[in-house]
């Protein structure tokens, strides 16, 4: 699907950053039709949350499995083959060339889309120096984005700050998924490169990943609807 054809309501991905399936199911029920796309990360996945994927997919929801795989090629490829059977839409891997190549090979014959994580949104320049990288955030993101495109990856996970630049160097068909989204007035938490929904969409993000601003809201459904409205306004739809 061309990224311009994504419906505004499908662009919000709510992160199920919860400790158990019961709480996740309760939130999903509470959100109802207001959310069509969910992300399952480490916390819920390691608490049995991957069992939710076929159920959600079977009910018409989309699922983003955010495990950021990175290992030797054979291990990644076999892991992706197993995940592809669950019915998820997206799976993340770290944007290392061997890892991306193995993931693309592992998802062959399925509808699973591989997203490459360029640089975590909790990292800044100082964090990269501490980790031993010689490139800054912007240069590393651009290098990995070009490598991902060349290897047949379907999309990138990146900060909204990098979206504008990436739109100029990768093909339009690559979807850009942006975490670190915080509606105006929300706390930044542990994210360092953040942006509001409207600004992220205007910059060129295709999907916005939102966790705490929805999960911690007094009325999660109302919070999700407010983000939908902001997305639609930014798209002039």
* Residue 126 maps to a domain: yes
Q: What pLDDT score was predicted for residue 7? A: 87
d(CA 128, CA 112): 30
Q: What pLDDT score was predicted for residue 2? A: 46
User: Which position has the token pair 């609807």?
Assistant: 225
Q: How many domains does the chain have?
A: 1
Regarding pTM above 0.85, the answer is: yes
* Residue 237 maps to a domain: no
* Residue 138 maps to a domain: yes
Q: What pLDDT score was predicted for residue 184? A: 58
- Here the tokens at position 63 are 């699922």
* Residue 78 maps to a domain: yes
Q: What pLDDT score was predicted for residue 194? A: 55
Q: What range defines the domain where residue 61 resides?
A: 3-231
For residue range 33-62, what is the model confidence (pLDDT) as tens digits? 999 999 999 999 999 999 999 999 999 999
Instruction: Given the residues 68, 101, 146, 221, select the one marked as catalytic.
Output: 68
d(CA 82, CA 95): 20
Along the chain (237 residues), what's the average pLDDT of each consecutive run of 10 residues?
73 96 97 96 96 96 97 97 97 96 97 92 84 85 93 92 89 91 58 70 92 93 93 84
* Residue 236 maps to a domain: no
CATH of the domain at 59: 3.20.20.70
d(CA 141, CA 118): 5
The Cα-based distances of 94 to 70, 116, 117, 208 in angstroms read 6, 5, 5, 19
* Residue 28 maps to a domain: yes
101 is an active site residue: no
């Amino acid at each position: 699907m061309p990224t311009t054809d994504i419906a505004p309501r499908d662009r919000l991905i709510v992160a199920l950053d919860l400790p158990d399936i019961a709480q996740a199911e309760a939130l999903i029920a509470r959100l109802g039709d207001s959310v069509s796309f969910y992300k399952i990360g480490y916390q819920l996945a390691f608490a049995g949350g991957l069992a939710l994927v076929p159920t959600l997919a079977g009910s018409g929801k989309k699922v983003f499995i955010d495990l950021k795989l990175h290992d030797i090629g054979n291990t990644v490829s076999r892991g992706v083959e197993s995940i592809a059977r669950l019915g998820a839409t997206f799976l993340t891997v770290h944007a290392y060339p061997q890892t991306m190549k193995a993931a693309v090979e592992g998802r062959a014959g399925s509808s699973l889309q591989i997203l490459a994580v360029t640089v975590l949104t909790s990292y800044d320049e100082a964090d990269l120096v501490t980790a031993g990288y010689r490139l800054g955030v912007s240069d590393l993101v651009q290098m990995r984005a070009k490598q991902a495109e060349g290897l047949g990856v379907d999309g990138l996970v990146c900060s909204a700050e990098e979206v504008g630049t990436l739109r100029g160097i990768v093909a339009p068909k690559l979807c850009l998924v942006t975490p670190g989204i915080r509606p105006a007035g929300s706390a930044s938490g542990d994210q360092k490169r953040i942006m509001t929904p409207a600004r992220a969409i205007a910059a060129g993000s295709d999907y916005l990943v939102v966790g705490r601003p929805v999960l911690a809201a007094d009325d999660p459904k109302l919070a999700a609807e407010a983000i939908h409205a902001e997305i639609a306004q930014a798209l002039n739809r």
